[in-house]
A and B are shown apart, each in its own frame.
Chain A
Amino acid sequence: MMSLAASASQTSTGEAVQFWVLGTVAVLGALGTVLMKKAVHSALSLAGTMIVLAVFYLAQGAYFLGVVQIVVYTGAIMMLFLFVVMLVGITAADSLKETLKGQRWWAAICGIGFGVLLIAGIANASLHTFTGTGAANSAQGGNVPGLARLLFTTYVWAFELTGALLITAAIGAMVLTHRERTEERRTQRELAEARVREGTQVTPLPAPGTYARHNAVDIPGLLPDGTISEASVSSTLRERGQIRDVSRDALRRLAELDQRSEEWLERRGVAGASRWEPGRRKGLPGAGSGDDPADPADPAEHAADHAEEGAK
């Protein structure tokens, strides 16, 4: 039993092994929290440290706190952190250049000095006999009844005050994040009228991926002449340069398809397949070698030809 082991001044070997293994994990997690460049990685490192601390609470006989640590800290508080990181932290790049000269070195020196003082203080204190929580836990029939008895007798006033604190915090968060709407919400009709009045884009925007090989949102739709339509992808993706232009690819696929269908129909030789290569058509990006005189002008017309042939 962990609580029995907790009543001696020396822990059991199992707890010692657990301490050295998980303690290393906790320190690494703490270092990761401080040193990781991205806020998400920091949050995950901190969550790892908190879970390790929960295990330590359980090992020391604080069963209620161990569970509360996981439920409240890693469950609620870290989720709140991750929510805010998603709202704020991803776009807010943490610039790593120093604004105060030598701040990092001084901070590190202060940290090391502080740690040395703290650890030396603990080493000088006479902490040799550990009473253990076993007796205190079993006095009230368990850890939770013992805590409850203390909480509702000795500390009941502090407990009431924490209630007031939590309500104040909840209301404060709502007040701080609430945004008053200063203008009236525009209806769909007003939006449509404004769009017609401006006249820039009256119709709905083209969908991404139309006539391209993929229909993902980062692949712009193709116009009839084979060029990409800029309006079909989100402006955010366009500004980040994250759109994938597949117009060349699409035309090559189309040419292959055409060749295969012609081979299948046994209509003409394989030579006819090269006519749709983008470099050989007018008005396409990369055009310039001139167009094939035998080339029909419109792919649609070409397809109609095929349909006629198939009908015969």
Chain B
Amino acid sequence: MNPVNYLYLSALLFTIGAAGVLIRRNAIVVFMCVELMLNACNLAFVTFSRLHGNLDGQIIAFFTMVVAAAEVVVGLAIIVSIYRTRHSASVDDANLMKL
């Protein structure tokens, strides 16, 4: 097996995650799909690190994880505060800024 298959898997996971973001309307599930896309990118970074034979790709994947953690914390806090005021976790209901 050629290790490039890891890249195909990564592309597939990223695509599934992107489709999930478009399809689902529960904000929590949308968030999970974003996490799936980030994970797919990490897999690609690690595979590229193997391709080039240096560790920079792994460092970038590490930074992606840090950013994902920060993003999840703030995003879930936003979801919880929206749920408190609007009693809904659906992204369709958060339309207060619509004209």
**B interface residues, tally (CB under 8 Å):** 72
Task: Answer whether residue A255 sits at the interface, using C-beta atoms and an 8 A cutoff.
Answer: no
Chain B 12-36 near chain A by CB (<8 Å), digits 1 or 0: 1111111110111110110111011
- The reply to whether A10 and B90 contact each other, CB–CB distance below 8 Å, is no
Total A-B pairs, Cβ < 8 A:
249
Which chain B positions have C-beta within 8 A of A31? 16
Q: Which of A6, A26, A92, A110 contacts B19 (CB 8 A)?
A: A110
The docked-state distance in angstroms from the alpha carbon of A16 to that of B78 is 42
The docked-state distance in angstroms from the alpha carbon of A144 to that of B17 is 30
The docked-state distance in angstroms from the alpha carbon of A62 to that of B62 is 11
The docked-state distance in angstroms from the alpha carbon of A69 to that of B66 is 11
The docked-state distance in angstroms from the alpha carbon of A16 to that of B51 is 17
Closest to B57 in A: A62
The docked-state distance in angstroms from the alpha carbon of A15 to that of B47 is 14
- Contacts A107-B22, A130-B3; is A43 near B46 (CB within 8 Å)? no
- The reply to whether B72 and A150 contact each other, CB–CB distance below 8 Å, is no
Closest to B1 in A: A16
Task: Answer whether residue A146 sits at the interface, using C-beta atoms and an 8 A cutoff.
Answer: yes
A17 shortest CB reach to chain B, Å: 9
- The reply to whether B15 and A64 contact each other, CB–CB distance below 8 Å, is no
Q: Which of B39, B71, B73, B89 contacts A73 (CB 8 A)?
A: B39
Majority secondary structure, A binding face: helix
The docked-state distance in angstroms from the alpha carbon of A225 to that of B95 is 53
- The reply to whether A27 and B9 contact each other, CB–CB distance below 8 Å, is yes
- The reply to whether B18 and A111 contact each other, CB–CB distance below 8 Å, is yes
Q: Which of A23, A62, A127 contacts B51 (CB 8 A)?
A: A127
Closest to B82 in A: A88
The docked-state distance in angstroms from the alpha carbon of A53 to that of B55 is 18
Q: Which of A92, A166, A169, A172 contacts B83 (CB 8 A)?
A: A92
Q: B residues bordering A, Cβ < 8 Å? A: 1-9, 11-20, 22-26, 28-29, 31-33, 35-36, 39, 42-43, 46-47, 49-56, 58-59, 61-63, 65-74, 76-81, 83-84, 87-90, 92
Known: A9-B2, A136-B53. 16 other contacts (CB 8 A): A19-B1, A19-B5, A23-B9, A26-B9, A34-B24, A56-B43, A94-B89, A110-B22, A115-B12, A115-B15, A133-B53, A143-B55, A150-B56, A151-B59, A151-B62, A177-B81
Q: A residues bordering B, Cβ < 8 Å? A: 6, 9-11, 15-16, 19-20, 23, 26-27, 30-31, 33-34, 39, 42-43, 46, 49-50, 53, 56-57, 60-62, 64-65, 68-69, 72-73, 76-77, 80-81, 84-85, 87-89, 92, 94-95, 99, 103-104, 106-108, 110-112, 114-115, 118-119, 122, 127-128, 130-133, 135-137, 143, 146-147, 150-151, 154-155, 158, 162, 165-166, 168-170, 172-173, 176-177, 179
